[in-house]
């Protein structure tokens, strides 16, 4: 069970029921549970979509696409059944927020799925959780069963005449399945390889039917919007960035944790919310949206945390994972760890990603261990830049963007590793790090070991 934190600056909407025992359906009902679903049933599809549009709710998975607009793309008439998918594959390094929602407020996700279903006239929802979240799958399965037992799911929900079925699905370990079309492939019992777009999932998605797919946090916000009103929700954030967000503050801070703060909250203040930098160290950099986004240097952190402000600053708000890096960290090592992840998780379907991540990882391993030459620095950047926009899905960009920013903003650290010089940050330590590198080398030498 993950520990909860709190701070006076928090505005609790989606985390309102955390620690309140809301996994119990009666307790959930006492805390305004399922009121939003009943209200939505009387509102009708267009009114729901308009309310969500007015809320300026944007996708919490990373892309920040307006949720109401996404729903409005689903065609009204469809010969094939329509589907609602909840993406709970949460695998972006630094992200651990959906986990708390599933653990503390599972019914809010179910409500979000039902309401999205009513909005697009779908009668089947799936809640997909990553396989590692086994204890959460059990919580979600119980919540779904409880909702069925009360008549909140199934035929004629709340006596409204509307039918809605919902099931929980487990993954089995794959970052790429968090990509929307790869998730659909996985749910169809296949390898999680992304699909080409167009057609977009709103038109051709799961089983070829029109599909709404939203992140778990996005959907968990929907009942609050239905009850509180879109305008109220929008007013909590900044223009075009409605509401609050679960920020996962992790890394080199005194009090890491998931804090719910308004959209547009200042990043520097956010680091203070997390208790400031630990061990009397200084801030070096922040990855403000998970491992996929360009890093910000310490000087660039006086910035409001919303989708548009970060885009303007050349980074992204991503999944709400704020990784805070202190000045004892080797940024070459950091770049290497990020690339090792992408190399491991690349689905291998398209060449720029499969080959690019592999070469980048190999180069960075050699570079960090003192075997780099000056040419490598430009080569790392060149390789990463050539992945940008040239891959089947956003994975290639996700691997390239942080790498490019690390080389650009911390070039001196790369220079410091040249000519066989030992890593200047090895105090925590050369000897300790080497065995891990050996493990990576072992995998590089044995391609089959990577697949199994």
Partner 1 sequence: MQFSDQLEKRFAELQTHYPIKRSALVPMLLYAQDEVGHVSDEVVHEIAARLDLTDLEVRNVVSYYSMLHTKPIGKYNIQVCTNISCMLRGAEKVFDHIRQRLGIGHKQDTPDGLFHLEEVECIGACCWAPAMQVNYTYHENLTTEKVDEVLESLRKKETQ
Among 161, 299, 447, 452, binds partner 1 (CB under 8 A): 452
Sequence-separated contacts (24+) of 294-302 with Cβ below 8 Å: 294/401, 294/402, 294/404, 294/405, 295/325, 295/402, 295/405, 295/406, 295/409, 296/267, 297/409, 301/267, 301/268, 301/271, 302/266, 302/267, 302/268
CB of 269 to partner 1, least distance (A): 18
Among 310, 321, 360, 399, binds partner 1 (CB under 8 A): 321
What residues from 69 to 108 belong to the interface with partner 1 (CB under 8 A)? 81, 90-96, 98-99
Instruction: Give the span between the Cα atoms of 73 and 169, in whole angstroms.
Output: 25
158 closest CA partner among 217, 128, 101, 118: 118
Among 171, 289, 294, 352, binds partner 1 (CB under 8 A): 171
Coil, strand or helix: which one is 8? coil
CB-wise, 374 or 428, nearer to partner 1?
428
Using rule CB under 8 A, residue 445 touches partner 1:
no
218 closest CA partner among 170, 275, 180, 272: 180
What residues from 380 to 419 belong to the interface with partner 1 (CB under 8 A)? none
Both tokens assigned to 435: 């065995």
CB-wise, 52 or 285, nearer to partner 1?
285
Using rule CB under 8 A, residue 430 touches partner 1:
no
CB-wise, 38 or 170, nearer to partner 1?
170
What residues from 211 to 270 belong to the interface with partner 1 (CB under 8 A)? 248-252, 256-258
Look at the alpha carbons of 302, 305, 308, 311 in this order and tell me if their dihedral is positive or negative. Answer: positive
What residues from 270 to 309 belong to the interface with partner 1 (CB under 8 A)? 287, 291
CB of 296 to partner 1, least distance (A): 15
The beta-strand segments (E) located in 171-280 are 211-215, 244-251, 257-262, 265-266
CB of 373 to partner 1, least distance (A): 26
Crossing angle, helix 331-345 and helix 395-409, to 10 degrees? 170
Residue count at the site for partner 1 (CB under 8 A)?
72
Among 190, 282, 312, 430, binds partner 1 (CB under 8 A): 190
Q: Looking at the DSSP assignment, which residues form a beta bridge with residue 288?
A: 290
According to DSSP, residue 246 is labeled E
Using rule CB under 8 A, residue 132 touches partner 1:
yes
CB of 341 to partner 1, least distance (A): 5
Checking phi first, is residue 240 left (phi over 0); if not, alpha (psi -120 to 50) or beta? left
CB of 307 to partner 1, least distance (A): 21
With CB under 8 A as the contact rule, which of the stretches 18-26, 63-71, 164-172, 389-397 interacts with partner 1?
Answer: 164-172
Using rule CB under 8 A, residue 356 touches partner 1:
no
Using rule CB under 8 A, residue 314 touches partner 1:
no
CB of 29 to partner 1, least distance (A): 26
Using rule CB under 8 A, residue 133 touches partner 1:
yes
CB-wise, 72 or 250, nearer to partner 1?
250
* CB environment 133-155: b (16+ within 10 A), e (fewer): beebbebbbebbebbeeeebbee
With CB under 8 A as the contact rule, which of the stretches 6-14, 36-44, 65-73, 184-192 interacts with partner 1?
Answer: 184-192
- Which residues does 276 contact at the CB level (< 8 Å), separation at least 6? 253, 254
Q: HSE (CB half, 13 Å, CA atoms) of 150?
A: 15
Crossing angle, helix 374-385 and helix 351-366, to 10 degrees? 160
With CB under 8 A as the contact rule, which of the stretches 57-65, 169-177, 372-380, 413-421 interacts with partner 1?
Answer: 169-177
């Amino acid at each position: 069970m993950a520990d909860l934190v709190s701070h006076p600056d928090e505005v609790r909407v989606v985390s309102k029921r955390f620690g309140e025992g809301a996994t119990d359906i009666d307790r959930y009902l006492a805390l305004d549970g399922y009121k939003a679903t009943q209200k939505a049933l009387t509102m009708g599809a267009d009114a729901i979509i308009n309310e969500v549009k007015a809320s300026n709710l944007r996708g919490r998975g990373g892309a920040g696409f307006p949720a109401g607009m996404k729903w409005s793309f689903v065609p009204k008439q469809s010969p094939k059944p329509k589907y609602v998918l909840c993406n709970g594959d949460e695998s972006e390094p630094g992200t651990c927020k959906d986990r708390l929602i599933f653990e503390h407020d599972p019914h809010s996700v179910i409500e979000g799925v039902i309401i999205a279903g009513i909005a697009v006239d779908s009668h089947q929802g799936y809640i997909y959780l990553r396989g590692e979240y086994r204890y959460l799958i059990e919580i979600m399965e119980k919540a779904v069963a409880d909702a069925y037992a009360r008549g909140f799911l199934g035929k004629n929900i709340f006596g409204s005449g509307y039918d809605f079925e919902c099931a929980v699905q487990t993954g089995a370990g794959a970052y790429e399945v968090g990509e929307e079309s790869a998730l659909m492939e996985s749910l169809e019992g296949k390898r999680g390889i992304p699909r080409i777009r167009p057609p977009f999932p709103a038109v051709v998605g799961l089983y070829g039917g029109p599909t709404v797919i939203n992140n778990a946090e996005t959907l968990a916000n929907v009942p609050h919007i239905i009850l509180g009103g879109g305008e109220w929700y929008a007013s909590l954030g900044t223009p075009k960035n409605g509401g609050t967000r679960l920020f996962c503050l992790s890394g080199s801070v005194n009090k890491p944790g998931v804090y719910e703060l308004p959209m547009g909250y200042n990043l520097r203040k956010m680091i203070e919310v997390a208790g400031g930098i630990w061990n009397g160290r200084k801030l070096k950099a922040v990855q403000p949206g998970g491992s996929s986004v360009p890093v910000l240097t310490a000087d660039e952190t006086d910035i409001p945390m919303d989708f548009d402000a970060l885009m303007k600053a050349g980074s992204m708000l991503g999944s709400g994972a704020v990784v805070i890096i202190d000045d004892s960290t080797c940024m070459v090592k950091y770049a290497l760890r990020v690339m090792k992840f992408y190399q491991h998780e690349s689905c291998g379907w398209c060449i720029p990603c499969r080959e690019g991540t592999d070469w980048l990882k190999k180069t960075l391993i050699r570079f960090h261990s003192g075997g780099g030459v000056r040419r490598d620095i430009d080569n790392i950047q060149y390789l990463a830049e050539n992945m940008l926009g040239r891959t089947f899905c956003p994975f290639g960009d996700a691997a390239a963007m942080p790498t490019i920013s690390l080389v650009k903003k911390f070039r001196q650290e790369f220079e410091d590793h040249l000519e066989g010089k030992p890593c200047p940050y090895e105090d925590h330590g050369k000897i300790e790090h080497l065995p891990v590198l050996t493990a990576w080398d072992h995998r590089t030498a044995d391609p089959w070991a990577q697949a199994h």
